[in-house]
Amino acid sequence: MKYTALLVLLFCSLTAFSQSILKGEIKDELNRPIVGATIYLEELQKGTTTNFDGLYTLKDIPEGTYTVTIRTLGYQTKKEKIEFSSNAIETFNTTLKEDYGSLDEVVISASRNPEYLSEIPASITVVNSVKLKEYTKLTSNINEILAYTVPGLAVSTGTSSNWGQTLRGRSLLVMVDGIPQSTPLRNGQLGIESINANDLSRVEVIKGATSIFGNGGNGGFINYITKSPNTTKKISGTTDVWGTSQLSDTKDALGYGAYQSLTGQLNKFNYYVSGSFEHTGNKYDAKGVPLLPTYGFDNTKTYSSYGKLEYLISENQKLTLNGNLYKSRQDSPFIPVFGNAQVFNAEGDYSLEAGYGVKGSIPGEKPTGSQLINGRLKYNLNAIFSGTTDFETDLYYSKAESIFFYSDKFENGGQSVVNSEKYGLRPNFNTQINSLDGWDVSLIYGLDLLRDKTNQGLLDGRLWVPNIELKSIAPYLQATLKLNNNWVFKGGIRYDDLNMDIVDYSTLPYSPKGDGNFNPSISVQGGQLAFNNLAFNLGLRYIEHQEFIPYISYSQGFSIADLGSILRSAIAENINDIQLEPAVTNNYEFGFISKFNNLRLEAVGYYSTSNLGTGVAFSDALNTFIPSVQPQKIFGGEVSIDYAFPNNKLVVGASYSYVEGLKNGVGDENNLSYVGGDVISPPKLTAHITWKPIEKLSASLRMLNTGDRKRFDPFLDAKGNYAFRHTEFPVEGYTLVNLSATYDVKPNIAISLGINNLLNAYYLPARSQWAAPLRTFTAAGEGANARLGITYNF
């Protein structure tokens, strides 16, 4: 018996001794190491991944010939047959080419882990670096860029405020590298304009309710992914300078800007730093009238800086420190003359005059605008727990200050400022379980810790929204199961536990309509408010054939209504009597992607319900804003198509977005009425054509059409005049055309020209129309304006 055991032991030792090793290095076309690439032996169903230096080692390979597959997100897959002899060390180094196919865009935000767009059962738009580069030749305004490129996102307001720029009729969460920029405790509606577009590698827009990042994402979220070091040189960079001017009226309308970035590699350190400055002049509508300065872009100085430093601790550990500053200050020589709307009869015939600016100043008024500071320290540890799990955690800090325009709606007038300060910690694990009876299983799990301190006061020291301190703990788990590379199933759960401390405060006398009817000051006893929410998401996608990749999904989201707006308008004397509850959204959708050679088609339909409105509503009876308690049903669809001609000299595309919303009284589901324009945007049609007649020259023509939305009837107000209610004024459609062109003088020098509103159309942005009853927001759109720039790469 002991001889048999000895022979078995000897056989196993010889077998182990005869096995080989595969090692090598994986790089991209710029000779940079590729981190996290998968090296897989199909016949043996075993593999490994590359470390931060792009190196890998795969052991215990028996003698034979096997197919080695190298695959990673964003690059073309490579396969190679390799013969392994007994007890040998085989070396396989290779270079992977980037895969620019739109079906294989890399998306991080959907589940906090890199995935292929075509394998995610959700509607996602990625505005990649190529598109960003094209659009920054036209404008620095990221609101405008996203309005043209993201189906389902409402058209731009034409101002620095994104109030009404909803996503599929729901509120959205804005993030920079996952760091929240929105201020849901007192939503100043300025979050979209929070970073310089030149510092972005891409923008990921996840549409539909999502629980992956918690409070505020009922309609989805926008995640700005910043640039990373992208060279093995010690130093390289980009210099960009430009000038801007109005074409409809050039008096004091000249502006200018400059951007500089530097990137490189020094031993184990990789770095990327940048800075920019832009100054705008006067801005005019198509008739040469100065634009309404409220939330305007005229006479604005914008500063931004950004930096990222990476340090490779070891082959599987990396430390990243990054941060950015974005500051805009408008100091306009104009004061506002607000718009005027008049309704003539019960049929709703009306006239609408846009507000405008006149030379002057308001004594004591300070420059308006925002300042945002973000900082993040991130740690990565890969291939732990027998190589199955990657771990990352980040500690972040964010501070925002938003100064608003002077308003006579305060007693004795004043300017308000929203202050928000956030701290967060986010440990996150990603575990891969490969080839389990044909299933590949991925688990993403972790914890979000957040502390958010927010208030809103006046610059003279009066407190309008009391100090609110939010502490949040949210564990989550997301699972992905892939069956035989044909089906992808996703499911997730997240539990949010939120606790808020609110100090004692007194409301300010305020006149919401600006009619001199001030609400009285009320002393409110503070205290604690607590919310918790359990959210689920499920999705299924069929991925075998690229000609038809359908999906179906269900997801939940939740948000606290704009708490600050409610607290500052409180009529109760105790915080516990205000009766707040979170708005929970259920989103159902079906869609597909199809790709035929150079043609790409995407379509999606969705339906979402919420127990409450996702914002606040104005009460005429109370002369104040109150929580929106009416349940909502929102539905719509999006379709986009792109085609590149075989020679790639001509690329065309178009998209169409439609959304509609209904609300009903509590307990009365059959009494339906339409939702206002602050939630539901008019239909949006976009089209683009890019022509490259020669290698050095390319030109693009882009069109955006906003449709009509006339859903509401006027009523007789207290004075016996016909009027439309808050956010329910009719919207008349309009069309805008933009032109841009770039010429490469040398391989590293290019000049560009962009013309916005090429036809000099006179129009009122959609928000200027549906918000007309407030008068404050009724501004005309900017007339024809140009941007001339030169870019130098070294």
Tokens of 72: 């990673």
**What does the pLDDT average to over 725-747?**
95
Residue 562: pLDDT over 80:
no
H-helix or E-strand containing 282? none
Phi, psi of 772 (to 5 degrees): -55, -35
Question: What whole-number distance in Å separates Cα of residue 371 and Cα of residue 327?
Answer: 4
Q: What is the pLDDT of residue 5?
A: 43
Tokens of 281: 């002049």
Q: What is the pLDDT of residue 6?
A: 40
Least confident window among 75-84, 263-272, 334-343, 634-643: 75-84
Please provide the DSSP assignment of 19-34 as one string.
-EEEEEEEEETTSPBP
| Nearest residue to 174 via CA among 146, 194, 188 | 194
Residue type, 544: E
**pLDDT tens for each residue of 143-177:** 899 999 999 999 998 888 888 899 998 888 888 99
**pLDDT tens for each residue of 58-72:** 888 888 888 888 877
**What does the pLDDT average to over 445-451?**
95
Q: Are 553 and 607 in contact (CB under 8 A)?
A: no
**pLDDT tens for each residue of 461-520:** 998 889 999 999 999 999 999 888 889 999 999 999 999 999 999 888 888 766 777 888
Q: What is the pLDDT of residue 104?
A: 54
Contacts for 552 with CB less than 8 Å, ≥ 6 apart: 121, 539, 540, 589, 590
* Distance set, CA 209 to CA 122, 174, 538, 557, 658 (Å): 10, 14, 12, 5, 17
Contacts for 294 with CB less than 8 Å, ≥ 6 apart: 159, 336, 355, 405, 776, 777, 779
**pLDDT tens for each residue of 740-764:** 999 999 999 999 999 999 999 999 9
Q: What is the pLDDT of residue 49?
A: 79
Q: What is the pLDDT of residue 108?
A: 81
Q: What is the pLDDT of residue 621?
A: 64
Phi, psi of 186 (to 5 degrees): -150, 95
> Which residues on neighbouring strands pair with residue 455, listed in sequence order?
419
First to last CA, the chain: 75
Per DSSP, the three-state class of 553 is strand
Sign of the alpha-carbon torsion through 294, 205, 536, 170? positive
Q: Are 563 and 580 in contact (CB under 8 A)?
A: yes
Place of tokens 């958010």: 452
pLDDT-above-70 percentage for the chain: 92
Please provide the DSSP assignment of 101-158 as one string.
-GGG-EE-TTTTS-EEGGGSSSEEEEE-HHHHHHHTTT-S-HHHHHHHH-TTBPPP-S
Mean pLDDT of the chain: 87
Residue 620: pLDDT over 70:
no
**pLDDT tens for each residue of 94-108:** 988 766 444 457 788
Confidence of residue 116 (pLDDT cuts 50, 70, 90): confident
| Nearest residue to 116 via CA among 541, 694, 574 | 541
Q: Are 639 and 654 in contact (CB under 8 A)?
A: no
Stronger pLDDT, 3 or 723, i.e. the higher one:
723
* Distance set, CA 249 to CA 253, 286, 291 (Å): 7, 8, 11
Residue 390: pLDDT over 50:
yes
The backbone region for 189, taken as left when phi is positive above 0, alpha when psi lies in -120 to 50, beta otherwise, is left
Q: What is the pLDDT of residue 8?
A: 41
Cα dihedral 278/756/253/763 (nearest 10): -120
Please provide the DSSP assignment of 740-767 as one string.
EEEEEEETTEEEEEEEESTT------HH
**pLDDT tens for each residue of 24-47:** 998 887 777 887 788 888 777 677
Rounded to 5°, the CA angle 287-292-298 comes to: 90
**What does the pLDDT average to over 181-194?**
74
Question: What whole-number distance in Å separates Cα of residue 375 and Cα of residue 398?
Answer: 6
Place of tokens 């939330």: 295
Residue 211: pLDDT over 80:
no
Tokens of 456: 């809103």
Q: Are 612 and 561 in contact (CB under 8 A)?
A: yes
Residue 570: pLDDT over 60:
yes
Residue type, 342: Q
* Distance set, CA 17 to CA 62, 89, 96, 386 (Å): 10, 12, 33, 21
Residue 637: pLDDT over 90:
yes
Question: What whole-number distance in Å separates Cα of residue 117 and Cα of residue 110?
Answer: 9
Place of tokens 């790639």: 648
Distance between alpha carbon 739 and the CA centroid of its chain, in Å? 25
Please provide the DSSP assignment of 288-312 as one string.
SPBPP-TT--TTEEEEEEEEEEEEE
| Nearest residue to 508 via CA among 618, 384, 415 | 415
Q: Are 731 and 708 in contact (CB under 8 A)?
A: yes
Number of Cβ within 10 Å of residue 107's Cβ equals: 25
> Which residues on neighbouring strands pair with residue 431, listed in sequence order?
389, 443
H-helix or E-strand containing 397? strand 389-407
Question: What whole-number distance in Å separates Cα of residue 703 and Cα of residue 709?
Answer: 19
Contacts for 399 with CB less than 8 Å, ≥ 6 apart: 372, 373, 420, 421, 422
Question: What whole-number distance in Å separates Cα of residue 517 and Cα of residue 419?
Answer: 28
**What number of residues does the chain have?**
794
Residue 10: pLDDT over 80:
no
Question: What whole-number distance in Å separates Cα of residue 113 and Cα of residue 204?
Answer: 13
pTM score, whole prediction? 0.86
* Distance set, CA 32 to CA 47, 94, 413 (Å): 22, 12, 58
Tokens of 98: 């980037």
Confidence of residue 559 (pLDDT cuts 50, 70, 90): confident
Q: What share of the chain is helix, strand, coil (3-state, %, to 5)?
A: 10, 55, 35
Question: What whole-number distance in Å separates Cα of residue 176 and Cα of residue 141?
Answer: 16
Rounded to 5°, the CA angle 532-535-538 comes to: 175
